[in-house]
Structure 1
Amino acid sequence: MVQITNEPYVHGYERHSDVIMDAIITPLASTPRAPGPAFAECTHFLKVVSDSVPSLQDCWLAHREAKLFHLRMQVHGRNALKIARYLQSVAGPNSAIEKVTYLGFASHSHYQLPVEQPFPNAKRLISSLSPEDLAEGVTWGGMISFRLKGGLDATEAFFASSQCFPLTSSLSGFETDPDQHDSHGESFLLASGLTHSHDIKTTARG
């Protein structure tokens, strides 16, 4: 059995956007560890009797977002790779950007993971890339991590002057959102969203 939170990506692209909903996925056939269909039937019964039933509007929104999921993920990943490449190109001793981390980079220590173990749709997308594109990286999700010199003060100043995206405590919607927590230290996450990569690069330039 797998329990997932659907808000990230599937429903409204990120957390707390269109729909707040979870999903429980059960095996089609019985196994020694799971009764399969019988377990699914029991789970469905508990959902109904406990009144944990989504509204018709929520179901319609969830169904609509699921249909567009593969298209949104392609744009999400392409934007992230473009932005990560740009940030990497300007990072260095004389730059405010100290370090950029993106799993799709060919230089990343776990680069072979997205290349060798993608889902079928992701594999088709990767196979369509040219050798030149693969040499620089692959589109593997939209989460980018980068570190600014100057610590938290520099991070807050960077986003205070941003005209493209505000500093938020939760990634949400189709927008490009940064997320910074004390546990991240001087680093923060950037979800590329569906914002045009040119707009994000313009903001990053200041």
Structure 2
Amino acid sequence: MTQGFNTRAIHAGQAPDPTTGAVIPPIYQTSTYAQDGIGKLRGGYEYSRSANPSRTALQDNLAAIEGGEYAFSFASGLAAEDTLIRSLLRPGHRIVMSNDVYGGTHRLFNKVHAQWGIEVVPVDMSDLAAFEAALVAAPTQLVWIETPTNPLMTVIDIAAATSLAHAHGAVAVVDNTFASPYLQQPLAHGADFVVHSTTKYLGGHSDVVGGAIVTSDDEAAEKIGFLQNSAGAVSGPFDAWLTVRGIKTLGVRMERHSSNAATIAEYLANHDAIERVYYPGLSDHPGHEIAARQMRAFGGMLSVALKGGAAAALKLAEGTELFTLAESLGGVESLIGYPTEMTHASVKGTPLEVPDNIIRLSVGIEDVEDLLEDIERALSL
């Protein structure tokens, strides 16, 4: 029987404990495991850097909800990204990436991997002609896609972009953090790898940090698994357990995040203080039709440009009460941020710099009337 998303999210990797019958598997808070003789391991477990039942449960769950064969859990989203790049690329290789990506990804690629001879080329992937020109310009081994992008909510056609990547000999990676597996399934659209900051919507409660890679590529999975163990940036058992707990309600949360964000986006699109709203659910968003085709709904993230410039943006960011001024996103509570000085400070002074009148909202699952009142009050200060 083919199971629906919510059924997989609740049950994949979550068989009741065989010893006690506990419906929720226990947290295996252990560093090592008794062996029944040299080389005689119980269930393949010998040391928790290499494998831990709590992490196995999370990885099985992640593979199921993303539609992949293999999943790997890490201590952070950036640890997952770093492991993937070092598993697939070598000095002299080239990455073509979205020109509007999470600032930490840009920092990792340009300040860390570039020192080891990896070339990084940003391009607007919503412009398929410009994207193909970047691929034609030099041999490219990897294409890095974010959709929707962070923070300007650009939507990239995953099927078209991955098809171009494959035609030019590159593998395609999609950072699916903003959409979550509930709203978008990149592997089904041709992507070779999916990465997540599981800190965000998957965990969903702002209480755990983690990252993940999902793929169906047998050879690549072997390389990733080797490096996961060899470098050791793995998620701990309690972090894995918390993430699984969050995933169980991912579907219902994403429905509420999306409906709240859509209401707020429509409200702000008609507000005198707002110059532009970046939200793919709006009919005038350049990527609206693509998003409607490849996403179940439009998500809980949106950004706004304020007519009053940086001063107005700062006033809004510091003036809300229910929207907490904080980095990160995807929790049940609403957050507000000023990307150019917070999440994207690492790209200031580069062509990827975020305009200083942009505010990013992570819309939570509170009562939307209260969120609207909070925003209106802050805009009227």
* TM-score, scaled relative to structure 1: 0.72
Query: Which structure exhibits the higher relative contact order, with contacts defined as CA atoms closer than 8 Å and separated by 6 or more residues?
Result: 1
Structure 2 distance, partners of 1:172, 1:111, is: 21
Residues 98-117 of structure 1 aligned to structure 2 (within 5 Å)? 98-117=275-294
Deviations, residues 143-201 of structure 1 (Å, cap 9, x unaligned): 11212222121222234332222333443632211121332321211111222211111
Identity %: 31
Structure 1 residues 41 and 81: alpha-carbon distance in aligned structure 2, compared to 1, 3 A threshold: same
Structure 1 residues 155 and 66: alpha-carbon distance in aligned structure 2, compared to 1, 3 A threshold: same
Structure 2 counterpart of 1:11, from 168, 189, 203: 203
Structure 1 residues 197 and 43: alpha-carbon distance in aligned structure 2, compared to 1, 3 A threshold: same
Which has the greater radius of gyration?
2
Structure 1 residues 3 and 88: alpha-carbon distance in aligned structure 2, compared to 1, 3 A threshold: closer
User: Which residue does the alignment assign to 1:187?
Assistant: 358
One-letter amino acid matched to 2:300: G
SS of 2:302's equivalent in the other structure is strand
The answer (yes or no) to whether the contact 2:303–2:361 under 8 Å persists in 1 is yes
User: Which residue does the alignment assign to 2:250?
Assistant: 69
Deviations, residues 58-97 of structure 1 (Å, cap 9, x unaligned): 12111111111111111110110011111123x2xxx222
Structure 1 residues 153 and 46: alpha-carbon distance in aligned structure 2, compared to 1, 3 A threshold: closer
Q: Number of residues paired by the alignment?
A: 172
Unaligned runs of 5+ in 2: 1-191, 341-353
One-letter amino acid matched to 2:228: K
CA RMSD of aligned residues (A): 2.3
Structure 1 residues 156 and 12: alpha-carbon distance in aligned structure 2, compared to 1, 3 A threshold: same
Structure 2 distance, partners of 1:202, 1:78, is: 16
Moved more, 58-67 or 160-169: 160-169
Unaligned runs of 5+ in 1: 28-35, 123-138
Structure 1 residues 181 and 59: alpha-carbon distance in aligned structure 2, compared to 1, 3 A threshold: closer
Structure 1 distance, partners of 2:274, 2:233, is: 46
Structure 1 residues 51 and 81: alpha-carbon distance in aligned structure 2, compared to 1, 3 A threshold: same
Structure 2 counterpart of 1:26, from 215, 232, 236: 215
